[in-house]
Amino acid sequence: MDRRLIPLVAAAFAVGTDAFVITALLPAIGADLNVTPAAAGQLITVYALTYALAAPVLGALTASLDRRTVLLAALAVFAVGNAAFAVADDYAFAIAARVVTGLGAALITPQASAIAASIAPPEKRGRFLAVVMGGLTAATALGVPLGSLLGAVDWQLTLWAVAGLGVLAAAGIAALLPPLTAPAAGLAARLAPLRDKGVLGIVATTGLVMAAGYALYTYFGAAAEEATGGSQGLLTLMLLAQGIGAVLGNQLAGRLTDRFGPERLMLVVQAAMIGLLAAAPLAFADLVAGTAMSFVFGVVGWMAIVPQQHRLISRHPQSAIVLIGLNSSALYGGIALGGLVGGLSLNWVPITALGPVGAVIGAAGLVLTIVMVRGKAAAPQPAAG
């Protein structure tokens, strides 16, 4: 691995642990803050929505600054937000802490991915992107289960540990990442690629894919209660299976994207996700089936991010940072939408039926990808010579 990627992977690991561990802690957080499961789920939603709205705006405001300085400042905000969440004693303060954390995270992951893409040889771009995204998948495989175990003792301990991860990542960036500059650009310039309908379609697809998965995943701990018998240890086992699957899926995505192209891979991934979500109610009735489903869901779900980044960068290489920032906004916007739709759906369906709700959202994303791929194939090709 290129040495310059190491601190970027560490930062992504910290952000990933923070973003994904909360789902396993929601029952305990909700009980301590005296709110319903649906209200507790909005702690994930507000974080994701903050990230989605802040990423392009903060990116524009910091465009002329040294990238290392920006990353260090963002990780400091991220650590403070998690520390504030750890000491929260009421719901409103917890919501405010998640907003602060989201503001910090919004500057971290897009820059890490864009830097990785900029230093990668063209034929290895998918693999370089997968290395940085590997920090997020490692978080699902290691950070989330370990955080879940800490949460079995006291959920606040998990948040203190995540804040510590942010500090460690900042130390690695200060030690290993050289000064990095990017061309200064205002907000209007950063949003200019949205005039490309193809970019808009790709970004919208990212949002729909994430919304499909998070309509269920936001409430995964509660949905798996029958399969786990309420055991935090068994829930941790299911999350570990999902994390191992995520690591595998992310690495496969990098290689398969470079070999077969991002569009083909996205069609397969989206179809598989729809099938998994539709079958989720059956899997949640049994621990073995639920753990197997969790593993496969990790593989499939984490194969979607790298090809989407690749599609955008290939379309406008000169705007890589802009486009990855927008894609990350769509990613977290999709997480927020999925959490919101899942929470609202609980007024009409049992929690184990959130998988089929997500499958409907996923079907819309698949249709959009099919339309875009067919449109690309039907477009006139440049004349030879």
Q: Which residue has the higher pLDDT, 78 or 134?
A: 78
Computed on alpha carbons and rounded to an integer, the radius of gyration of the chain in Å comes to 20
Per-residue model confidence (pLDDT) at position 236: 77
pLDDT of res. 350? 85
At residue 235, does pLDDT exceed 60?
yes
pLDDT of 385 higher than 50: no
pLDDT above 90: residue 370: yes
**Domain boundaries of the chain, sorted by first residue:** 3-179+192-377
Statement: residue 146 has pLDDT above 80? no
Helix 67-86 / helix 91-105 crossing angle, nearest 10 deg: 160
The full length of the chain comes to 385
Handedness of CA 84, 85, 90, 92 (dihedral sign): positive
Residue 270: pLDDT over 90: yes
Give me the chain's average pLDDT, please: 81
More confident of the two residues 378 and 83: 83
| Domain topology for 3-179+192-377 | Growth Hormone; Chain: A; (1.20.1250)
Task: Tell me the pLDDT tens digit for each residue of 324-349.
Answer: 778 878 887 888 788 889 888 888 88
Question: Residue 176, class by beta-carbon neighbours within 10 Å (0-12 exposed, 13-18 middle, 19+ buried)?
Answer: middle
Residue 5: partners with Cβ closer than 8 Å, 6 or more residues away: 116, 128, 131, 132
Q: From its phi and psi, is residue 180 left (phi > 0), alpha (psi between -120 and 50) or beta?
A: beta
Q: Which two tokens stand for residue 359?
A: 């499958």
Summarised one tens digit per residue, pLDDT across range 273-309 is 999 999 888 888 788 888 898 899 889 988 888 899 8
> Is pTM beyond 0.75 here?
no
Q: Tell me the pLDDT tens digit for each residue of 158-209.
A: 888 889 988 888 888 888 777 766 655 555 666 677 778 888 899 999 999 9
Q: Nearest CA to 357 among 292, 280, 246?
A: 280
> Within 10 A of 49 (CB to CB), how many other CB atoms are there?
22
